[in-house]
Structure formats: C-alpha cells, structure tokens
Structure 1
Amino acid sequence: MNIQQLEYVLAVDKHRHFLKASESCFITQATLSAMIKKLEEELNVILFDRNKHPVEPTAIGKKIIEQAKKSLREIYRIQDIINEEKDEVKGELRIGIIPSLAPYLLPLFIKQFLDTYQDVALTINEYTTSEIQEKLLEGSLDVGILAIPLLNNDLKESTLFYEEFFYYSNTDVLSKSKQHILPKDVNPNNLLLLEEGHCFRNQVFNLCELRKKDFTSLKLNYQSGSIETIRKMVDLNMGCTILPELTLSMLTTEQKQKLSRFEKPSPVREIGLVTHRHFIKEKLIKVLNNCILDAIPQSMLDKSCKTIIPLQ
C-alpha cells in the first residue's frame, strides 16, 4: 500500500467514474485501475462495485475510504509543518466562502494577496455554511470565511469584522418616512429572501422574528441563491429585502436612496475565519487574516453599538 494508491481510491470515490478519476490524476485509466486492483489484492477486499453506474464503494470500501481520507490528511500536514518551521509563507490554501459574502469581499483583497504572496496557491469555492463545516472536518478545506459563531468544538474561530444589515425598498414609504427603522416595521409579506440553506436567510428570519409572523397574504414567494438577483427584483417594485453592508459598494447613488438603517444597536453578522482545531498552516491563516483586515473599513472592526444576529 502506498500514498498514490490511496489518492487514486479517493479520486474514484469523488468522481464515481474510473475514466474521470484517471483524468483528474493525470494518468491513464488503465494505470489507475491497475493500481487500485493491486491494492484490493493486497488487502484482500473489493473497494468498488464496478457493475454499478456510477461506480459505488462497497461496504468495506466506504470504511477504508474514510480511513484513507484521515491518513492522507495527516500525511499532507508533514509539508505544512516543514513550511511553518522554515518560517515560509508558501503552499496551497483551500478556502470556502459563503455566497452572500464572496462577490463583495473577495475583490477587496485577492489581488493584493496574490501579488504579495506569490508562493501561495489559492483554491476558492463558494459553499453554504453547513458545507463549509463538513469540508473543514473532512479535511478538503483549510479555512472557511463565513458568519460565526458556529458552536462546533472541533472547529476554531477568529473574528474578522461585523457586517451591518440594511433595509432596502424601492416603493415602501417606510424608508422615506423614518430616519431609522425597527425590525418589527418590516412587512414579511413583501420581503424577498435567499433560499433555504443560506445562513443569511436564517439571520434575517431572526432579525425580523419572521417565524412568528403570518405569511398567508404573501403576494410573491420568490427565493434566490443570489443577493444581486433579489436586489434587482426590489428595483422592479417586487418587494423589499435586507442587504449586508459590503453589498452597498455595488449600489448606484440612486439605489443608495432606497436604503434605511435599523435603529441602534445596529443588527450585524459576525464574519470570521474558521479552521479545524488541529489546523497547522498558521502563517498562511495569519497573512490571510491581515490581508482581509487591511481591506475592510475600520468602522466594520468596531463591535460597539452593534447586536450580533444569531445563525440559528
């Protein structure tokens, strides 16, 4: 048994197809199949049911795959330990970020980061909060950028900034008649929300206590995975919504006239970096943290006069 064989097994498990797995490993299908077959003979087990399409791990195969993930995760950490000891900022950093944050935060710091740390390779994917937690625990992500706290003892969190919530409406006189509004002023039957699975949706529910309100007179039940799509629907007089602070940079002067602030203490979501509690690449996380903080307005670093809206 060797590391390469375990990597091939995980590739087949990921793609559930021998040809696609071999292409992802940059080898021929024959070579990959032969290496996995050799491992099966050595272990005297069958790892994959090749008669099923897509290919599926056998019962014993699932157990071995889980152990292979753990083993490879520990093996890969050896190079991370060496880099840490050499005081080098280099290597790969796999980042997961929630969709309600990615389009607005990433452009603020990514170019500066890559220009400054040219020996670091970034892999960035958008995932929901639950997906980021799962991938951090299994070791397929190094760090998550998302709303916290998650209250998971296996994960380590550090605060980055506090992002204020704003009310956005095109036709509602509420935004014109009051300098500041209260969450109870928001009409749930006009409110457009992100779809299920997005933590920002849960926070809006908690902010406006929507679980306690009646939706029977809802005129438009529209849910989207994109804040920008929802904002455009509001611009078409289709309702109102809640926007997180970083999205405001995308608004025109005219659109900013549709914003209203909530009464203080301002409702915010706490954004942080999350890693596995046994994570090793501390120097990479430190420079990522500093790069983000350098790009964020100082006002977003101050916790005073703010109320953190819970995720659940």
Structure 2
Amino acid sequence: MVVHQSLSGLSLRDFEYIQAVARNKSFGQAAIDCGISQPAISQQIRKLEARLGFPIFDRSAHSFYVTPAGEMFLKKIDVILTEARALLDATASLNDPMESELRLGIIPTLGPYLMPHILRAIRDQYPNLKLNLVEATTNDLKEMMLARQLDLICLATMPEFEELESQHWFDEPYILACPVEYALKDNTVMQWSQFDQEQLLFPSTEHCMRDQTMGFCNLAAASDRRVGSSLEMLRQMVAAGEGAALLPALSVLGSDGMNGLITYHPIAGRTLERAIQVSWRKNDYRIDTFAGFLSFLRTVVLPL
C-alpha cells in the first residue's frame, strides 16, 4: 500500500506568495500584490521552507535569486495553482455558466467599435451574466487565455496554440480613409489597383492589423513609415494630411469628430477584410455553452 506524506503545513495561499515573490523578485512588491505585510509574507515563506527542508529563495545582502531546488518547486506549484483555479472556474456555475462571470478579452482595434452594437443584446439575452471585458493586444490575450485569466477571446487572427479552439464570427471589411487634400467625394468607391499604396500609414507593430494591412500591399518593409499607436491616432494622422489608412468598417461608423478632414471610401477590385474569430480552451468544460453563446452573437445584426 502506498503511504502518502502528510500535507500538513502546505497551503495554496502560501504557494501564491511564492509565485508573487518569484514574479516580482521582491518580497516588498509581492506583499503589496498579495495584500499583506512584508514581514508576514517573509515569515510564511520561511515556515514553508522549514517544512520542505530547503530554501526556495537566496536572500543574500546584494542579490536575490531562486535556488535550484526552488526552481523545481516553482514549476510544480505553477501546475497546482493553475489546476486549482480551473477547479474554481468549474465549480463556480455548475448549473448555468451564463449566470455567472464570463471574462471576455478583445483586441483594441475591435472592442470599442463592436461592443456598443452587441452589449444591449447580450444583457437582454443573459440578464444574470456578469461580463468582464479586457482589452489587450493579440499576443497578450493569448497568453492570458493559456494562464486561465480569460474565458473567451475575440481576435482578428487564428491563434496558433493547440490548446485553443477558434470559430469564425464575422468578416469585417476595411475602409480607406483619405485626407481632405485628396479632393475625393466622401463614400465614393476606390479601385484598389489605382490607389497609390505608398501613401498608406500603418498601425504600430503590436497590432495584428499591421501585418494584415501590409499583406494587402505590394510594398517593401514599412519600418521607415509613420505609424499610429492606435486606430484613433491613425485617424488623426490622416486628418492632419500625413497620408491615408485602411480602417476597419466598424471604426468609421458615425461622426469621427474630424470636421470633414477625412473622407471614407469602400474598396473595389480586391477583397480587403479581416476574419473575426472567437476562441476558447479545448479542455474547458463550458465549450458547448461558449459555442451556443457564439451562435447567439451571430444573430445580432451588425451595421456592416
């Protein structure tokens, strides 16, 4: 018969303290993150080290590092805490996942322009749902999904991770935004082959939209081009006369606040659009619920 060691003296909260210290490389900052005093977090970790029989951290006067034994221990508690959080997720709403918390991540080139068109429908359909929205870049959202910090993510690219399943939601066309100096009538159709692509401005590198819009162009690397750190900055650069830009269709609805300094043009001659995807973890017990939620979202009419 296998005799297991006693788990006396081990707690998940102490494991979280160790994670926080390793992440911050500081007992002081870890204490702030965990909401306790520095002496308290130091004392708890020393008690755990005494229970384990080895130091997790080297606390010499002029350096701070994780010991080799501590590195091994950290890898183990990372797994334990990930599974513990998954257990909490699973037990939070066994009856109806859509009557509890749903953490939805969305990219900044989509969220501010899409959410106003769907939030009323979501709240009417799921009145008890606690929807928590997180805006971050594509790479950050993927990492947050794998760390179980989000339940769903909405992207304009397909995630490369095997752990995630993605389904198509809708296609969003790009619209060409031009400065008033081009003397073009607003809403006239532009032939893509006749447009001088050297005039294009691009988003900065953290946005996946940059690679997408670059892919529509027959241009060399855009490293020497002026870039906008957000869609709104890109729009202001167009209004200032610096060049033209491809903007997602939802972002150009309504007044742009630019007092007629920009004209907007549908594009003909080539399909310029991005595919909006919704992704979740393949091992999430709520995958059927998420698929049903996406089916509902597809019924919401978007002004495209």
TM-score by length of 2: 0.80
User: Cα distance, 1:192 vs. partner?
Assistant: 1.4
Alpha-carbon distance in structure 1 between the residues aligned to 2:275 and 2:99? 29
1:224 maps to a residue whose letter is G
1:246 maps to a residue whose letter is L
Match of 1:64 among 43, 68, 73: 73
Equivalent pair of 1:84/1:283 in contact (CA under 8 Å): no
Alpha-carbon distance in structure 2 between the residues aligned to 1:271 and 1:265? 19
Equivalent pair of 2:180/2:261 in contact (CA under 8 Å): no
Match of 1:158 among 167, 176, 183: 167
User: Cα distance, 1:155 vs. partner?
Assistant: 1.3
| Residue matched to 1:235 | 239
Alpha-carbon distance in structure 1 between the residues aligned to 2:131 and 2:64? 31
Alpha-carbon distance in structure 1 between the residues aligned to 2:58 and 2:122? 44
SS at match of 2:168: strand
User: Cα distance, 1:33 vs. partner?
Assistant: 2.0
Equivalent pair of 1:89/1:283 in contact (CA under 8 Å): no
SS at match of 1:89: helix
Distance 1:294 1:92, change over 3 A: same
| Residue matched to 1:275 | 280
User: Cα distance, 1:10 vs. partner?
Assistant: 2.3
Give the paired residue count.
294
1:160 maps to a residue whose letter is W
Alpha-carbon distance in structure 2 between the residues aligned to 1:57 and 1:99? 36
Unpaired stretches in structure 1, ≥5 consecutive residues: 301-312
Paired-residue identity, %: 24
Equivalent pair of 1:95/1:124 in contact (CA under 8 Å): yes
1:189 maps to a residue whose letter is E
Choose 67-76 or 49-58, whichever is displaced more. 49-58
Indicate yes or no: 2:248 matched with 1:244: yes
| Residue matched to 2:228 | 224
SS at match of 1:197: coil
Which one has a larger percent helix, Structure 1 or Structure 2?
1
| Residue matched to 2:267 | 262
User: Cα distance, 1:259 vs. partner?
Assistant: 1.1
Alpha-carbon distance in structure 2 between the residues aligned to 1:288 and 1:24? 34
| Residue matched to 2:37 | 28
Alpha-carbon distance in structure 2 between the residues aligned to 1:4 and 1:90? 28
C-alpha RMSD over aligned residues? 3.5
Aligned pairs for 1:181-192 within 5 A: 181-192=190-201
Equivalent pair of 1:164/1:268 in contact (CA under 8 Å): yes
| Residue matched to 1:141 | 150
| Greater Cα radius of gyration, structure 1 or 2 | 2
Distance 1:199 1:4, change over 3 A: same
Indicate yes or no: 2:213 matched with 1:204: yes
TM-score by length of 1: 0.78
User: Cα distance, 1:55 vs. partner?
Assistant: 5.6
| Residue matched to 2:27 | 18
Choose 127-136 or 170-179, whichever is displaced more. 170-179
SS at match of 1:165: strand
Equivalent pair of 1:142/1:275 in contact (CA under 8 Å): yes
Alpha-carbon distance in structure 2 between the residues aligned to 1:144 and 1:271? 10
Unpaired stretches in structure 2, ≥5 consecutive residues: 1-9
Distance 1:274 1:176, change over 3 A: same
